[in-house]
Amino acid sequence: MAELIAKSNVAVLIGMGVTGRSAARYLTREGRTFVWLDTRELPPTLAEIEVEFPSVARELGELKESTLLAASEIIVSPGVAIAHPAIRAAAAAGIPVLGDIELFMREISAPVIAITGSNAKSTVTTLVGEMAKACGKRALVGGNIGVPVLDLLLEPQAELYVLELSSFQLETIARLGAEVATVLNVSEDHMDRYDSLAHYHQAKQRVYFGARAVVINRQDPLTAPPLAEGVQLFSFGLNAPDRHGFGLRTVNGIEMLAYEFIDLMPASDVRLPGRHNLANALASLALGKAAGLSMEPMLETLRHFAGLPHRCEWVAGQDGITWYNDSKGTNVGATLAALQGLASEQGRIVLIAGGVGKGADFAPLAQAAAQLRALVLIGEDADKIAAVFEGITPIEHADSMMTAVQQAAQLAQPGDCVLLSPACASFDMFSGYDDRGRQFVAAVKEVLG
């Protein structure tokens, strides 16, 4: 295989997931020859790939250094760590290692709003996309949410691209060059892939490389980059705004969304529930402002945007108890944000949590102990979460989502809410966070009748 690549001067594509398949379609459209690798002996998509790409050479299983060293360039899917020894050896030999984002940026001329962070990426990305459309822009949304970026190239050229980017995608970026870029927040995530929080933080910061304007979270110092000369800086936060800042201000007893010293609208008019979503609304306004979007259509979008499935989604209300699905809360920071966001609700919270912890430290969840009525735990790392709350919060264990919902219904009291926000990945019990969320919603509807 290595001799074939060397003689043909072809690329190597690694990964047969959603991103890998979009990259394969792109390379095929470009008339490029490539060899397709996957670290798994039997990728679940292999049968479909054999039908769609019957003539593409493939290697499955452990990556061979000889194959990579013979490549003209290596295109790595986000799920494959570039720290793999064979990939590192190829990079050290001067072979370009890149991802789908780099390929996408080569092809477009329209500006990009690039959004990353540990939490709230999907909500903010979608919200900014809706704001842009409300302003009359031909905007396309994709990346780590919905449509892979290379599939966006199948659409007519947009006036604006709004991209959600993961730390994995950013690892292969040399200079993104976004019109506007942000890191919404930074908390521990993917510690099974990164050596430390600092290592993870460095990956997130790559979103700022080459940006014309940046948006930072005033209340999270880890979101601030070292700024190059000429880069505009905007900020957001739940505190009072300053110059080029969006925030909250109380006027005559009414909490207002504000920009600098201008009051924009009552915070109560934002349709998304929870204070964490006020932060998301302010971040979206800051991104839109930095990109030159008009204010009034953006504010009108906030009055109507109800949020995304599985992100603090209202499910039901019965007997004075409200049920929320935050299955997308796959790390500790996301769950803390959801708990703190719902803290202003009456009563207390019965939290359903647990799953695959990805090497996370669950200790910070103790900050929310006073808000909890009880904890119902599921999944592989349930005991690790239980250790944080032992002797502080009543704890139940469940072996299925249905059982967890039944137990939560018994524990909750009128005025409380039940929140599914697992602080963990889902793959021990479910096919993904969306499957977990759907099973939660179905169980709630069955239990409530």
**What pLDDT was estimated at residue 306?**
85
Please tell me the least confidently modeled range out of 65-69, 194-198, 215-219: 194-198
Q: How far apart are CA 89 and CA 71, in angstroms?
A: 12
Mean pLDDT (the chain, rounded): 94
Q: How far apart are CA 257 and CA 240, in angstroms?
A: 9
Instruction: Give the residue numbers annotated as catalytic, written as ranges.
Output: 121, 144, 190
Proportion of the chain above pLDDT 90, given as a percent? 86
- The mean pLDDT value for 222-239 works out to 92
Per-residue pLDDT reduced to its tens digit, 44-68? 999 999 999 999 999 999 999 999 9
**What pLDDT was estimated at residue 309?**
85
Q: Domains of the chain (ranges plus CATH)?
A: 2-98 (3.40.50.720), 102-304 (3.40.1190.10), 313-448 (3.90.190.20)
**What pLDDT was estimated at residue 311?**
86
Q: How far apart are CA 286 and CA 242, in angstroms?
A: 12
**What pLDDT was estimated at residue 440?**
97
Please tell me the least confidently modeled range out of 19-23, 309-313, 408-412, 432-436: 309-313
Q: How confident is the model at residue 121 (pLDDT cuts 50, 70, 90)?
A: very high
Q: How far apart are CA 169 and CA 121, in angstroms?
A: 14
Contact predicate 331/423, CB 8 Å: yes
- Across the strands, what pairs with 12? 35, 74
The CB density around residue 388, as the number of other CB atoms within 10 Å, is 18
Q: Indicate the DSSP class of residue 412.
A: -
**What pLDDT was estimated at residue 449?**
85
Residue holding tokens 């609208």?
265
- Would you say residue 6 has pLDDT above 60? no
- The mean pLDDT value for 207-231 works out to 93
Q: How confident is the model at residue 7 (pLDDT cuts 50, 70, 90)?
A: very low
CA angle (393, 396, 397) in 5-degree steps? 135
- Would you say residue 396 has pLDDT above 90? yes
CA angle (306, 116, 125) in 5-degree steps? 30
- Would you say residue 137 has pLDDT above 90? yes
Strands 160-164 and 213-217 turn out to be: unpaired
